[in-house]
Structure 1
């Protein structure tokens, strides 16, 4: 007999169906009187004063588990403790257990029992589509009908809501963002709340801003919990929570009551050891060495697995390199479409690929029992986040390799993501003031021209303000509630310091000579932390860091490739009229530039480090380095343009005039093309430094003038527009519009760097 893990297995064809407790009147319809709030109906139809035999109930729970996880599965003691607390005592529970322990089995078995007792559906708040897909499939094996409402299935929302209303659904999975969708919040959630049989908060560390993956929407659950009828059991689960996160989650979910007896909430916390994992660190500081090592060793790693990269560009570049070397791999990131993600996950589940090269977008929720390895190209910024990601491996196999290949650029990438935390008070106040003065709800797009925030950061700020009660999401956008709001500067700084401490701990993990698994478990405050006897430090055995000169040369050749597309802007930002610029909708085709080229991205494995040094705030302006000129020449040589450019024009720069000017001059000289000079920027016009499209465009509008004497109409061919760097793409769009309206047949942008 084996304990149940998170990975369900197909039951035997002749496995008996689970015994059933007779339902009390069948499924509960929306609006029907609630039953069993103070107890449950025993098989003989009596209430709590005639309790069902606990052992008999456990046997039925075991049968449901075997339907879910296979004929040899049996409940762990803590699994039964949680199920008992939810089904018999209707308590609130927090389960902190390692990945693969079987947390999903707890809520699916509890759901099956509660539904047999006539209770309403279970509502699972789940953060990721991958997690939802896996849970729907797993529930079906347990005989539990699960449905989901998420961003990928809007065409199914109406039918799902109808199924829920008539009591035909056992489990409804929703994202935390969905809880605050006005239509769902106002029309579906109230009735669902009144009839919920069990509330599950999956990946509950997301509710804590001390957690490695905090999400503002998760904090809305506090409101939902206050609206649940008395006696509705609540289960929160996570695998990655230290003491601070456990306390915070417990407090927010109301599971810190110190009362005695059956009303006291339950916290179940187990060991975080993962017996199958073999942890190790390989020191290959240069990108070409890491790629070369992968090319030489990927086939030697067991089964199929995940290669994690810190950036989208790194994931895509690594996947390209490995495919060139004959490996079946796919890249996977937040930029991957929903359908492509599903296909990539399925390919890995079916062992059709050796690996997915992924960012952290592939994390919580992906469940493959025989995942044989996890390799990190670059270290995550937190030991807790690292533990969560390596937990994908080794759930159903005796041995899985876990390797970390840190890079010299890791700290700079951490610093970038740290810069995207909660913005300064003045910026947040600008959001509130704009909503206070508006006479109607404002969409996120309509707010953008008035604040110095990118779309994604603005959405994050609005969610935090919504949770804090300062703003409210309604049909048509956002409105101010008029409630007083205070900026918690001290709290934000404490969180920032915690992030810095986590980074320091991650660096210590790389250098430690002690047990690596013990180190991670200690960071997660596991009281059972002890040497594992399996990692590279415990055994003294390490995979070789040696790579052949030929493989390194091939990797360098791949990294030396230059050129990444620059897609033209197609639509003007919303709300430009509110700042006095009368443009809207689609940018006319005859005012756009053609697809351009950049030498590289600032996040590239190869050119990224070189470009970040060039564009650093303290870097001196000067002539363009010759190696970058020659790389740009290679980009131009490989450019499949419809017509070769006939002239070169630079975009005048106030911060790096020598760099841009010399680049335009060198390209014109090498290509034997006339240099038209530079588009002159107005030094009096302020341009926003934030990646906010509306604000950036407002600062650029009417800022440039074509050089005197230039006549694009007479050129008879494309203009090569040279700039040092593009972020939002609006400088190129504005200058291209100026050139096209002056008669240029087409515009081909070329920059050194792009994000």
Structure 2
């Protein structure tokens, strides 16, 4: 039976005497806390003490749901120190991000706690770390949830750790729940780990972002007799505001005009990698010291960027959600969103980075009309349909009979790699497959597709989106809105924060002057991005009846091409998304996109002897009109096309690389006149298509042209997916 309490005492407020502490645990815990935070005045919050006492003296399992900055990490570091004093083994902390691990290791060292990490960025150190653990020289081991299913770690290291651990900690525990805003399949494995722990090993789970449903789900997965400690979620330092502006150039102009007025340094969040990179470029052009930080940023560069922000060497990092859980800069002065996250819970988690150790931090949301399209795209990557799951399970060898790599499995199922890998992780947690050396195997265990649950999760996702839109439009207190959405147990009816734009505590800067907006629009209107050619065929193509393997020969490869913009970016991306929407009928290239196309061609200035286009089954009028226009711009003849087989429909784009390439190879053929074919040798050809996503249509078409004698093939498309 769960026991629920709420902590409200400040860190420096003395706690009430506790007659239930005959072992003097609280006094020793307070001493460790003071070393940890570097202050002789620090005192434990009531709920910090309750959690520490339950872990150290009661060997219990506890779930602590408290706001960002409350001191959840202090609970497990203090408990670790006390347990180690009693001769317990090291603590194992399962933590989701390298940034979080780095901060936690630094914090632990202040209290004399020896902490190490095993993660994908320090593989060369693993052997030495294993030796340190075996020698008793480690107090805390931090590892990622993904590491739990690394075959060598899972089978060789983890059993020894589980048997000897003094404490197991699950940080950012909302990731366990597929009802949560940041569900990760690897976190579901933790339940198996906990079930296998010997009796008497305490367990702590912590998170700042869990409503009642997520809290109940996580507590259930922790086991029975779980102590649940939920506190209030108000953040007195945060000053919330929403600025409604008509379009992207106006939002960029607002940010450019006002970023410098916010004190200190902070984070500017964007919804996509392309948007973050473009916004960072725009702000640098306006003289701001900013850098982009996304999932595409190299791990070593991420660490350097985090250090730059912490040391105030940059005004802001322009980031996607890759900079989220675990990043700790107590004096972060502001968080600005260009585009809204898909739920108030995710929004609260991101803005929680700000204002931990300053009296005021500004939090501003600039929602965009395109936000819902982006939410829906990421939502489309949810759990696959039953037929795809069955196909994957059936394709895998049985456990003990070998393994199949993800690349090989791609030839058997119609799923992109990211969705395939996520599906395999879920199936692994459910016991249907197992990750082994060399890939994946089927366990042969019966597995049922829980369609009802997936539908409920999808319905919850849609409801969260609606709640986010309601937050943008509400005229009530914004902090109250967020606290209510997270089921804050301390929220009082009629309460108002007095610090948001709706409560009169924030004065939002006015919309920028027209001249500033037009300058931003002009910068965004600069079209043109490079299209990098494919260089390696997917593995396993022979399994699909396609004789392509290894690297693309240089004499069969396309050159670097051009597109007007990415579909997920800013500027021209808006019009391109409208053009490629399923509701837009086929037709000539819209007038509004002709000028940017002309500019891209003029800036690129390819040396072209002819133009070939990839004919389309869905947009034939668009592609033919586009090719004719490009030929006129280049003063080059339109010499032929790459033709789809008349008996084959358009290929799917929502499949993995191997399946996509196989579809392209089965459909497309070179269709040139005899004269054009005879004159192709050594000539330079511009290859025109409307859209590129995987890149395989361009790669295969270029190969056909190069094999027919073309000396160079230069792709030109409207948009890159």
**TM-score, reference length from structure 1:** 0.90
> How do residues 114-263 of structure 1 correspond to structure 2 at under 5 angstroms?
114-254=83-223, 256-257=224-225
Root-mean-square deviation (Å) = 1.6
Aligned position for 2:31? 63
1:574 to 539, 548, 564: 539
Change (3 A) 1:661 1:428: same
Instruction: List gaps (5 residues or longer) in structure 2.
Output: 1-8, 13-19
In 1, Cα distance between equivalents of 2:239 and 2:340: 17
After superposition, the C-alpha distances for 1:301-348 in whole angstroms (9 at most, x for unaligned) are: 111000000111111100000000000000111011101111111100
Deviation at 1:640, TM superposition (A): 7.1
Is 1:650 the counterpart of 2:613? The answer is yes
In 2, Cα distance between equivalents of 1:169 and 1:625: 64
Is 1:313 the counterpart of 2:265? The answer is no
Aligned position for 1:28? none
Change (3 A) 1:448 1:94: same
In 2, Cα distance between equivalents of 1:646 and 1:156: 55
Aligned position for 2:648? 685
Deviation at 1:753, TM superposition (A): 0.7
Aligned position for 1:481? 443
Tell which deviates more after alignment, 316-325 or 713-722. Answer: 713-722
Is 1:458 the counterpart of 2:420? The answer is yes
Deviation at 1:52, TM superposition (A): 8.4
In 1, Cα distance between equivalents of 2:547 and 2:561: 27
Instruction: List gaps (5 residues or longer) in structure 1.
Output: 6-50, 258-264
1:501 to 445, 463, 467: 463
| Residues 200 and 235, structure 1, Cα contact 8 Å, conserved in 2 | yes
> How do residues 62-141 of structure 1 correspond to structure 2 at under 5 angstroms?
62-71=30-39, 72-141=41-110
Aligned position for 2:697? 731
| Residues 285 and 406, structure 1, Cα contact 8 Å, conserved in 2 | no
| Residues 449 and 575, structure 1, Cα contact 8 Å, conserved in 2 | yes
After superposition, the C-alpha distances for 1:170-206 in whole angstroms (9 at most, x for unaligned) are: 1101111111111111111111111000000000000
2:632 to 669, 676, 680: 669
Deviation at 1:578, TM superposition (A): 1.3
In 2, Cα distance between equivalents of 1:52 and 1:279: 42
After superposition, the C-alpha distances for 1:24-64 in whole angstroms (9 at most, x for unaligned) are: xxxxxxxxxxxxxxxxxxxxxxxxxxx98444x32222221
Aligned position for 1:379? 340
Tell which deviates more after alignment, 104-113 or 708-717. Answer: 708-717
In 1, Cα distance between equivalents of 2:311 and 2:48: 29
In 1, Cα distance between equivalents of 2:601 and 2:102: 45
Deviation at 1:167, TM superposition (A): 1.3
In 2, Cα distance between equivalents of 1:701 and 1:394: 55
In 2, Cα distance between equivalents of 1:409 and 1:84: 49
Aligned position for 1:261? none
In 2, Cα distance between equivalents of 1:172 and 1:632: 54
Aligned position for 1:354? 315
* 4+ long deviations beyond 6 Å: none
In 2, Cα distance between equivalents of 1:496 and 1:591: 44
Tell which deviates more after alignment, 383-392 or 149-158. Answer: 149-158
In 2, Cα distance between equivalents of 1:332 and 1:214: 21
Tell which deviates more after alignment, 188-197 or 624-633. Answer: 624-633
Aligned position for 2:3? none
> How do residues 494-533 of structure 1 correspond to structure 2 at under 5 angstroms?
494-529=456-491, 530-533=495-498
| Residues 243 and 525, structure 1, Cα contact 8 Å, conserved in 2 | yes
